[in-house]
């Protein structure tokens, strides 16, 4: 049984999908042991507490003087302290590197709200991804679960799921559909894949 640490920044809907997937047996080779956020006000922390999960807040600017290496080191220390084997970025909107990437190479999974290689990379997150897809006029978008490496959204793809764009979609409507029809489905499956090797 692998120990899973989840990193979040906001509402924690992907975290909730993971908690539900563990309860329903979709994730059966691992268990969530902690949740770490880079934002004090993240509602995902409330979701974690409701599920009885330990939480910690580590902020890059306030706690690490804006230093990415220090930020990465502190997150890595917490993950080690909690005996985490696999890290899941569930709507984690901060860039890290250094120690965390080295210590957990091939063991960090991220969910990205597009079909990589489209609409990804530096600065492409949240609603910006859906705005870009709509501006470009693509008819299909989706989500990608991938391993994390030193290139933003550049790690090995584990799973992808397509979602159709509909007439009248706004970035907000599209974001919700991509979450419901793709992210919440493939992220738990990708985590189970990693946990079961």
> Residues with catalytic annotation?
112
Question: Residue 11 gets which letter from DSSP?
Answer: S
Which two three-digit tokens encode residue 119? 């609409």
Beta strand extents in 48-130 (DSSP E only) = 55-57, 86-89, 108-112
From 149, 143, 145, select the one nearest 159 (Cα to Cα): 145
Rounded to the nearest 5 percent, the helix, strand and coil shares of the chain are 40, 20, 40
Question: What is the DSSP secondary-structure string of 30-66?
Answer: EEEEEEEES-TT-HHHHHHHHTT--EEE--HHHHHTT
């Amino acid at each position: 049984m692998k120990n899973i640490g989840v990193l979040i920044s906001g509402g924690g809907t992907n975290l909730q999908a993971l908690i539900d997937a563990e309860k329903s047996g979709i994730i059966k080779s691992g268990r969530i042991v902690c949740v770490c956020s880079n934002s004090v006000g993240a509602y995902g922390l409330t979701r974690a507490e409701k599920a009885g999960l330990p939480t910690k807040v580590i902020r890059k600017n306030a706690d690490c003087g804006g230093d990415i290496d220090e930020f990465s080191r502190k997150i890595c220390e917490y993950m080690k302290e909690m005996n985490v084997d696999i890290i899941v970025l569930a709507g984690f909107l901060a860039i890290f590197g250094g120690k965390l990437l080295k210590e957990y190479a091939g063991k960090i999974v991220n969910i990205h709200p597009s079909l990589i290689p489209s609409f990804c990379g530096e600065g492409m997150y949240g609603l910006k991804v859906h705005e870009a897809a709509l501006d470009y006029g693509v008819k299909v978008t989706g989500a990608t679960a991938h391993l994390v490496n030193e290139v933003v959204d550049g790690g090995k793809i584990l799973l992808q799921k397509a979602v159709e764009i509909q007439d009248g979609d706004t970035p907000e409507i599209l974001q919700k559909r991509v979450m419901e029809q793709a992210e919440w489905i493939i992220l738990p499956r990708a985590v189970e894949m990693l946990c079961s090797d």
